[in-house]
Amino acid sequence: MTGQKLDSNELAAERTDMAEDRTVMATERTFAGWMRTAFAAIGIGLAFRAVFGEFDPPWLARVIATAFILLGGVVAFTAERRARKTLSRLSSHRADAPEIPSLSWMGWGVSAGAVTLAIALWILHNGSAFN
């Protein structure tokens, strides 16, 4: 490209490569946004249970908290699946693409943590936040 004139096919190929790199980076940002949403839902569930633990009937706060926590797990699982599917179809050229196994570990880890937390919410009765 330095000092040489590119023909229209080379320019089109270069633009396509750059567009694909931008899509790879957009997919990574979207995955990060969905993971933030998953953590927010899990946090809302924990906060709801901690703040409104004295509901009547007593199990109602647990049900609502469990719903938010499991929603966070589903969001993380879905984000991992969609990012993996999108990135498997793309090739990065100049941008560093995220490693698909890393995304899978993050998505599955947050999902497993949410399920574990939801189970603990129902098992633990003696903690101050879980009465």
Percent of the chain with pLDDT over 90: 42
Burial class (CB in 10 A: 0-12, 13-18, 19+), 103: buried
For 76-129, write each residue's pLDDT tens digit. Answer: 999 999 988 888 876 666 666 667 788 899 999 999 999 999 999 889 855 544
The residue with tokens 């498997």 is: 88
Whether the model pTM is above 0.85 = no
Rounded-to-integer distance, Cα 47 and Cα 45, Å: 5
Looking at per-residue confidence, does 106 or 130 come out higher? 106
